Amino acid sequence: MEERLSVLLCIALLPSFILAIDNILGDKVTFQETEKCKTSRATLVWLKDGSERPVARWDGVWKPEQGYEDRLSPNECVSLNQTNMNDNGLYVLTCGPDSETRTSLHVVPASEALVSEGEPGRLEFHHFTVGKRGEFRMERNGELVLELDLSSGEMRHGTGFEDRLSVSPGWKLSGDLTVTLQDVKPDDQGDFFIYVQDEDETRPREGLSAVRLKIREKIPDQTTRTPPTAAAGICLTQKEMITWTVVCILLAVVLMALVFFCCWLWLRFWKPNVPSGPGGGTCPTPTDGTDVELQPLTEPCPPGSHVNGSLRPNANGQ
């Protein structure tokens, strides 16, 4: 009994620990601690300026309370979809009589910076700096990106950002704390939360805002591109390709048939004009059945033969 009382006393004397969640307006936020709490009568309640509003309760699964039906789906943990500015506040998770977890949710609007790979990116932020004591901080995924002492001007960089960050010159007088990130890389993409922490760290963060850095896809160098072919840009459907193939085959068949027909005509009607005797005449065969003595090619045809369709007279004038 004494041992139990001592445990309860230790719990009561423990300082209240509050988890902090920074969330960009419109994004989904999940209360991770609700995943570990699955007991009867477990509840999640929103507190703000003395007001209290039930958010969800455990009943086999986490179920939404009135007013959250369209923003919270029954699940193993509690998530708010599309956060709005009224979601800012303190959330108390009660998981049994002696277990309580507090989470402070900060919903902030965000600007967007679209930068090409290799180019410098500007993450804008403005705040009152004249005579201000404390630190200007930039974080991503809960890790330090940049820390600037507003009194001494000393700067500290987070891992992976060494020698790549700079703050606008004259920031102390102008209040322009815009950060320039040189040589942007794909790994730099993400949400950057920016704020000023007063010298008294018990005070809330001032000017909390966010910049969502997006990397524009790098455009290939036009000078190294392969020149397009003559057919580049021509896109045919499968039906059109089949049609053109059939047309080409038919044209080839017609062309071959035309060539064959021309060759046939040439062989059928063309004869070489070669004479069979002197003067191009022919020596006809006698009609009386007698043989005609063949003459040398250099001798004229026998008397009385036809030359070019007419009778040639013999030596006696006949």
The answer to whether position 295 is within a domain reads no
Among candidates 318, 113, 94, 308, which has minimal Cα distance to 214?
113
**Tokens 């500007």, located at residue:** 122
The answer to whether position 263 is within a domain reads no
Same domain, 29 and 97: yes
Report helix, strand or coil for 1.
coil
* Number of residues assigned to the chain: 318
Task: State how many domains the chain has.
Answer: 2
Structural domain boundaries, residue 62: 12-107
The answer to whether position 287 is within a domain reads no
The answer to whether position 282 is within a domain reads no
Helix, strand and coil in the chain, % to nearest 5: 20, 35, 45
The answer to whether position 294 is within a domain reads no
The answer to whether position 256 is within a domain reads no
Same domain, 161 and 102: no
Same domain, 194 and 140: yes
Domain harbouring 76, CATH code: 2.60.40.10
The alpha-carbon radius of gyration of the chain (Å, integer) is 51
For residue 7, pLDDT over 50 is answered with no
Same domain, 124 and 65: no
Q: DSSP readout, 212-225?
A: EEEEEPPPPPGGGS
pLDDT in tens, 211-236: 999 998 776 665 555 555 544 445 55
Same domain, 143 and 61: no
The answer to whether position 54 is within a domain reads yes
Q: Which of 158, 193, 216 is the last residue of a domain?
A: 216
Q: Model's pTM, two decimal places?
A: 0.62
pLDDT in tens, 8-49: 333 333 345 789 999 999 999 999 999 999 998 899 999 988
User: What is residue 276's DSSP assignment?
Assistant: S
Q: Which of 53, 82, 107 is the last residue of a domain?
A: 107
